[in-house]
Chains A and B, each alone.
Chain A
Amino acid sequence: MRSSSPPAILDGDRVRGAGPVDVIEYGDYECPYCAQADLLLADLPVRRAFRHFPVTSKHPRARVLAAAVEAAALQGAFWPMHDALFADQGRLDDPHLWQRARTLGLDLDRFEADRRSEAVAARVSVDFRSGVAAGVMSTPTLFVDGAPHPGVPGEALIALLRGAADRC
């Protein structure tokens, strides 16, 4: 996990939104500041990628939750599950995951098998390792034009991201 150049959005990334600026968000579903950052970004005209950065000594469920979202992705529901976790971080135990999977209309048996699969664990690790290589040391960390911005985005960064769109 030696240093790599600043991350850019890649083909395999989970991406949504559109705009002149790319934002890469490293986050963890058990991290309240990540939920806050995610909400702030949703209002901005940017193209954003979400990458998993589970820190399990701090958030014991972080890897389990990232795997659940990737398992949902295999049934076309990455963002719905992503949003459903961030929307209610008080309910992140297994029964709560099953309930969300049902609500989203997922095949529950498949979801259960997929979220424990090696392929899904490997997918989460690819994200995490790319974060370590980029020097991520806290969540959330956003990268804008290759520059790291640790923490919930402040007013200056939000104004910058909004302003970039206004200039186009």
Chain B
Amino acid sequence: MIVEAGTPAPDFTLPDQDGNEVSLESLRGRRIVLVFYPLDFSPVCTDQLNVYQEVLGELESEGATLYGVSVDSAYSHRAFQQQLGITIPLLSDFHPKGEVSRAYGVLIEERGHTGRALVMIDPDGIVEWSYTSPSPLEIPGANLIFDALERSAA
């Protein structure tokens, strides 16, 4: 089960695509959206992060900071980010593999990668909204993030 709204978000410290460590603690005071996706270079993800990138300015102006998360290595993330031409940072849940994804309830154990899920965390580190895609082939639209932001502002 994915982490539910109203519960504290599990803490994490993960390297980004450049090897810089990013922790939930260091992001306190900001509203963040974790975008869990199955794997770098799988064709469906490509469109997901590209479309989020296209509306990134607007998401940021509404106060959201996005991070992609998958079980791929930081080196893979860097190559993937460059191939997509995106600036959204990608966090590497590589070692111990999938540990953070498991804590968030989005790891698909039998496949060894995460499902497709979104988790919005408020500036105090509390889960504000979470969403799991019914199947890895169904990509959560950017509109769902805008909807969640509107609800959090209400």
Contacts of A1-44 to chain B: CB distance below 8 A = 1-4
Q: How far is the CA of A3 from the CA of B86 in the complex (A)?
A: 24
Shortest Cβ gap from B77 to chain A (Å): 16
State which of B3-11, B45-53, B89-97, B99-107 sits at the interface with chain A.
B45-53
Q: CB-defined interface of A134-158 with B at 8 Å, one 1/0 digit per residue?
A: 1111110000000000000000000
User: Helix, strand, loop or mixed for chain B's interface?
Assistant: helix
A56 at the interface (CB under 8 A from B): yes
Is there an interface contact between A138 and B139, defined as CB atoms closer than 8 Å?
yes
Contacts of B50-71 to chain A: CB distance below 8 A = 50-51, 53-55, 58
B22 at the interface (CB under 8 A from A): no
User: Helix, strand, loop or mixed for chain A's interface?
Assistant: loop
Is there an interface contact between A58 and B84, defined as CB atoms closer than 8 Å?
yes
Q: A1-B58, A2-B147, A56-B54 are in contact. Are A137 and B48 (CB under 8 A)?
A: yes
Is there an interface contact between B85 and A57, defined as CB atoms closer than 8 Å?
yes
Q: How many B residues touch A, CB cutoff 8 Å?
A: 22
Output the residue of B86, B139, B143 with the most chain A CB within 10 A: B143
Is there an interface contact between B53 and A57, defined as CB atoms closer than 8 Å?
yes
Q: How many A residues touch B, CB cutoff 8 Å?
A: 19
Q: CB-defined interface of A119-141 with B at 8 Å, one 1/0 digit per residue?
A: 00000000010001111111100
A55 at the interface (CB under 8 A from B): yes
Task: Return chain B residues, CB-CB under 8 Å to A57.
Answer: 50, 53-54, 84-86
Task: Return chain A residues, CB-CB under 8 Å to B53.
Answer: 57
Is there an interface contact between A137 and B142, defined as CB atoms closer than 8 Å?
yes
Shortest Cβ gap from A165 to chain B (Å): 30
Is there an interface contact between B55 and A132, defined as CB atoms closer than 8 Å?
yes
B141 at the interface (CB under 8 A from A): yes
Q: CB-defined interface of B111-154 with A at 8 Å, one 1/0 digit per residue?
A: 00000000000000000000000000001111110110010000
Task: Return chain A residues, CB-CB under 8 Å to B143.
Answer: 1-4, 132-135
Contacts of A46-60 to chain B: CB distance below 8 A = 54-58, 60
Task: Give the residue name and chain of the A residue nearest to B49 (CB).
Answer: A57
Shortest Cβ gap from B131 to chain A (Å): 12
Chain A contacts to B: CB under 8 angstroms = 1-4, 54-58, 60, 128, 132-139
